Amino acid sequence: MLRVHPAMRGIVTVANHVAGPADAASPGRPHTVHRMREHTVEVVSDSGEGAQKCSQIFGAVSAKMGNGVWTVEIIPAEIQPPARAPEGASGNRIRLGAGQVTNWGDDTNLVVAFNEQVLLARHRAGALARDATILLEDKWATDDDADIRDAWLQAMREIADVGYRVVTVPMEERCLTLVDDARKGKNMFALGMLAFIYQRNLDLVFEQIAHTFRKKSDAVYARNVDLVRLGYDWAGAHLDFRIEITPEPNDRPMVVMNGNEAIGMGAIASGMELCAMYPITPATSVSHYLSEVFERFGGVVHQAEDEIAAAGVAIGASYAGKVAFTITSGPGLALKTEFLGLAVMTEVPLVVVNVQRGGPSTGLPTKVEQSDLLAALFAQPGDAPRVVIAPATIEECFHVMTTARRIAEAFRAVVIVLSDANLATGVQPFPRPEVDTRWHAEPADLSAVLAGRKPYGWDESTGLSRRIVPGQRGGMHTVTGLSHDEGSKVAYSAGVHGRGMAMRSRKIAVLSSLLTPPTPYGAEEGDLLIVGWGSTKGAIEEAVDRARAAGLSVASLHLRFLSPMEPGLTAIFQRFRRVATVEINYSDTMGDPYVTEENRRRGQLSWLLRAQTLVDVDCWTRVPGEPLRPGAIVQAMHDLMPPRGDA
């Protein structure tokens, strides 16, 4: 039956899309099935209560059943934040769709909350749709502790007028019939409820549970299965609605993973087998994945003593004939700067993956931001040209690693891959990559070096040269971070120094000449062009679709290469009346005190584009510590629209 605590009388409202109050008498009662194109669900709990496991399994099962899925983690920064505190809310948002889902959407339609405080956190964050359905643990309303009962009442008052439909659920009470500690069972009960509501295939749910808990005992699996059934049956007996999102037919085999797993698997596919790292959020899970796989296939995950040493180890391994990579986040990139300069100067191939988080300094360790773009390009005393690529989707996280390795190797260059916390922890299905043997890396050429070949025998027109690795006979030289000539001989003279600079810089121009111009999304010309990079692609393109449907003349352009820039940008920009970037980083807003057109600090890509194209590129940026919502971008598009008659 639908349990409504007395304190909630008058609060429970019925959302438009949900059927009327439950018929408490009949357990096998009919359910109204709502057919949807998409629906967004969240599971939130205190940290440690397993909401993440629950929603990860739910997301994976949904993807396997053919739904489009995008999941975003809701993570507190602390490992053990206080219980029943809004700042400790932990869980996932999962956006389900009939077709492909490219971003986390605007707001949540259904929430499972393990206490009213974590629910408040999501309410206050503006994460919930006004007509959202909330499945809320009810034990707190009648808790022995008067403070808790009081907190519950206050929370109910705070959310009373929104229009949510609150359904209280005796999760704790039901779970205690099976387990002694309900904290270790509620998440599976919640999974069971979701499986009922979204009509998930229980066999797939159990298969996913078996996989998730593969390192635990059979008893753990059996208990979890029982808890899922308990939640499923409870929902069947007490809820009056179900939701159906029929997947669009899709014949292509798909894989489901998060961006860090995709980077890890991409690294393996690319033939890089030495990863040097120092633990840092949110990048570390890449190395967890790799060390598991490398244990079976060889290769080394080297956990260094610090971020600097991790870069040093990668450079050492590349020097000895591999193409090694290191993985980090903002604070780590800051520390690696010294070694990036050495790698550029010595032309040792190096791939650096930077999973961006909020900055500066320690910043927002678990939250998304795109604030390392200029650091990736320029953070280095002296001129140190390097390649910067930003994957825009989880699928691209896989493929970017092969691209990065091949460029690093062919150009003897430093390649920085800019991912972010949104891609790192987001889970999305994508077409299973067909492994191509052309991706493979040859072992280092250790044959004797022909007499006369120089360690930096630069081709005058391209700046390219073939490296010589230790262990080869001949071609002996000492690699050095000092300015040097073709023979790696230290030379301080102006001519030699300038020539080395030119050769290292030319490689970037050569790479640029090999890139194809990007294609705008939505339209080839019009009033407004939005330019983005990295993980915002899905949200920006969805916003373009919505804005165009509403009659706005808007298109978007998404850049993968940031250094060198993809060619043809100026020509594209000239086909639009206004150009603006949308980014998750900080910019001054015109109208803020003291801010003028001249001193305004802009979004990082905007700054770069203005410098490169001389086009007056505006920007709309936010640093909310979460991915951008397409609805907010649509609003920004309205605001950025050039006035009629503006030429």
Partner 1 sequence: MTSIAKPLVRHKQSRTNALGLTIRDYEGGMSTLCAGCGHDSVTAALIQAAWELDLEPHRVGKMSGIGCSSKTTAYFMKQSHGFNSVHGRMPSVTSGAAAANRTLTYIGISGDGDSLSIGLGQLSHAIRRNVNMLYVLENNGVYGLTKGQFSASADVGSKSKKGEANEQSPIDPVLLALTLGATFVARSFSGDKKQLVPILKAGLKHKGFGLVDVISPCVSFNDHEGSTKSYAFTREHEVEVVHTDFVPLRREITMPETEEDVAVVQMHDGVSLRMRSTSEQYDPTSRDSAYAHVRACQARGEIATGLLFVDESGRDMHDMLNTPPTPLVEVPFERLCPGRDELEALMERYR
Tell me the one-letter amino acid at 328. T
Nearest residue (CB) to partner 1, 232 versus 456:
456
Q: Please name which of 183, 176, 182, 213 lies closest in space to residue 47, comparing C-alpha atoms.
A: 183
CA angle 9, 12, 15 (to 5 degrees): 160
Site for partner 1 contains 311 (CB under 8 A)? yes
453: tokens are 């070949």
DSSP state of 472: B
Neighbouring C-beta atoms of residue 215, cutoff 10 Å: 6
For partner 1, the binding residues in 411-430 under the rule CB under 8 A are: none
Site for partner 1 contains 310 (CB under 8 A)? yes
Phi, psi of 563 (to 5 degrees): -150, 110
Distance, CA of 559 to CA of 608 (rounded, Å): 12
Nearest residue (CB) to partner 1, 109 versus 402:
402
Q: How far is the CB of 35 from partner 1 (least distance, A)?
A: 27
DSSP state of 176: T
In contact, 405 and 412? CB cutoff 8 Å: no
For partner 1, the binding residues in 569-598 under the rule CB under 8 A are: none
In contact, 493 and 482? CB cutoff 8 Å: no
For partner 1, the binding residues in 171-190 under the rule CB under 8 A are: none
Site for partner 1 contains 211 (CB under 8 A)? yes
Buried b (16+ CB within 10 A) or exposed e, 34-71: bebeebbbbbbbbbebbbbbbbbbbbbbbbbbbbbbbb
For partner 1, the binding residues in 479-508 under the rule CB under 8 A are: 479-482, 490
Distance, CA of 532 to CA of 580 (rounded, Å): 9
Neighbouring C-beta atoms of residue 434, cutoff 10 Å: 6
User: Which residues, in sequence order, are CB contacts of 438 under 8 Å at separation 6+?
Assistant: none
Prior bond of 642 cis (ω within 30°): no
Nearest residue (CB) to partner 1, 271 versus 564:
271
For partner 1, the binding residues in 48-67 under the rule CB under 8 A are: 64
For partner 1, the binding residues in 328-387 under the rule CB under 8 A are: 338-339, 341-342, 346
For partner 1, the binding residues in 222-281 under the rule CB under 8 A are: 253-257, 261, 265, 268-269, 271, 273-274, 276
Q: Please name which of 124, 85, 127 lies closest in space to residue 109, comparing C-alpha atoms.
A: 127
Nearest residue (CB) to partner 1, 401 versus 539:
401
In contact, 519 and 558? CB cutoff 8 Å: no
Nearest residue (CB) to partner 1, 435 versus 614:
435
In contact, 274 and 314? CB cutoff 8 Å: yes
Of 198, 319, 533, 573, the one binding partner 1 by CB under 8 A: 319
User: What's the half-sphere exposure (Cβ side, CA atoms, 13 Å) at 196?
Assistant: 21
Of 4, 320, 410, 515, the one binding partner 1 by CB under 8 A: 320
Site for partner 1 contains 124 (CB under 8 A)? no
Alpha carbon 187 to its chain centroid, in Å, reads 24
Q: How far is the CB of 146 from partner 1 (least distance, A)?
A: 49
Nearest residue (CB) to partner 1, 283 versus 313:
313
Q: How far is the CB of 567 from partner 1 (least distance, A)?
A: 32
Site for partner 1 contains 433 (CB under 8 A)? yes
Number of residues that bind partner 1 (CB under 8 A): 71
Of 180, 218, 442, 592, the one binding partner 1 by CB under 8 A: 442
Q: How far is the CB of 321 from partner 1 (least distance, A)?
A: 4
For partner 1, the binding residues in 282-301 under the rule CB under 8 A are: 293, 296-300
Q: How far is the CB of 278 from partner 1 (least distance, A)?
A: 11
Q: How far is the CB of 444 from partner 1 (least distance, A)?
A: 4
Write down the residue that tokens 């060390």 correspond to: 291
Q: How far is the CB of 448 from partner 1 (least distance, A)?
A: 9
In contact, 537 and 101? CB cutoff 8 Å: no
For partner 1, the binding residues in 69-88 under the rule CB under 8 A are: none
Nearest residue (CB) to partner 1, 19 versus 65:
65
Of 312, 532, 538, 564, the one binding partner 1 by CB under 8 A: 312
Of 6, 28, 443, 551, the one binding partner 1 by CB under 8 A: 443
